Chains A and B, each alone.
Chain A
Amino acid sequence: MLSTAQLEKIDLLSDTLLYDQAVSFIQRLVRVEHCNPLPTSQVTGLLNIAESFRYDELYRFVTHQRDRNWPPSKSDIKTFYSALEQVLSTMMRKSLREEFHLLTERPGASASEMRQEADALMARLAREFIQHLVAENGLIAAKMEDERRQQRMNRR
């Protein structure tokens, strides 16, 4: 459904923009908002749904996780999904047309066709963003674990 030009543009955006945005996204949550990295169980679920290329399903999953009644010990998960929902919403509402220039009005295209195209584009963009943030999340989690181990050793 997407054209070769659109797919090439998504690859370009992934390398030049989404990668840095995803790294900053997760680093801000951990370093500025002092959240824990996303736990492995959440990472697996999020990646699986992102890999399915169904944007409606992905968005539903993200809002469902955001709106769940998490216990205080897991409030970081709610913070993560709230921030992710904002990124996805901005991408869908604004960036897709105005910044990425991936979606342009075509004469004769119905609203439903445009919506389908937007969903297909968002599924790809969101997958790229999520893959990058998950890689950074894992690295941060491993480094934090190394630091904790080192601190335990120093105390002995």
Chain B
Amino acid sequence: MNLEMKIIREVSDQAENFYEDAVGLGDHAADALKAQHRSQMTELENIADSALKSSDIFDYIKKQSARFHYWRQAFAGHSDARIGFGERLKTYLEKDMTKKLAAICERLDIGDSSDEDKQKRRRIYLMLIRQFIHQMVAEYEYQTSPASIARKREA
């Protein structure tokens, strides 16, 4: 199997592993942004898909967190009920995701000394972030769908 296929397989495996975390953040997004700010999630997906640098995604999360109070809204359903949505997402992508990246790179024997290896790491990191954001937004969409909202009202 060539490296490209190995990378795709590893990223896919990791996506299975962080699915529950993405669901947790999707629930937080649904609670904070509600259906009313759906465009924010669509835009985040667009930025993640088109960004050439992970730092551009982090800058975007920070900018939205600074501009809109709902990005800074905490979630009672999370263990630390003081952390806002944007901060929680940023911390997850900057900290937790880099551990998953390191695990993949170790398995694939990708170092971090040469520029060539650093570029490979950046690309895998972006792939992981994109996967995570897609999963998170899917959960957000599900939780803010009219059917879900109706179910919650009935409950």
Contact = CB atoms under 8 A, between A and B. Distances in A.
Interface of A: 8-9, 11-12, 14-16, 18-19, 128, 131-132, 135-136, 138-139, 141-143, 146
Contact of A12 (B62, B66, B119): B119
Contacts of A132: 55, 59
Contacts of A18: 55
A14 B118 CA distance: 12
A141 B119 CA distance: 33
Given A12-B118, A12-B122, A135-B58, A142 B66 contact: yes
A138 B53 contact: no
A128 to B, nearest CB: 8
B154 interface: no
Contacts of B14: none
B53 A135 contact: no
Contact of A14 (B53, B67, B115): B53
- Which of under 10, 10 to 19, 20 to 34, or 35 or more describes the interface residues of B? 10 to 19
A131 B53 contact: no
Interface of B: 52-55, 58-60, 62-63, 65-67, 69, 72, 86, 115, 118-119, 122
Nearest to B65: A139
A142 B119 contact: no
A96 to B, nearest CB: 16
Nearest to A141: B66
Given A12-B115, A14-B53, A135-B58, 14 more contacts: A11-B53, A12-B118, A12-B119, A12-B122, A15-B54, A19-B58, A135-B62, A136-B62, A138-B66, A139-B62, A139-B86, A141-B66, A143-B72, A146-B69
B66 A9 contact: no
B11 to A, nearest CB: 18
B59 A15 contact: no
Q: Which of B53, B55, B60 has the most CB of A within 10 A?
A: B55
Given A12-B119, A12-B122, A142 B59 contact: no
Contacts of B69: 146
B68 to A, nearest CB: 9
A45 B132 CA distance: 35
A146 B66 CA distance: 10
A44 to B, nearest CB: 13
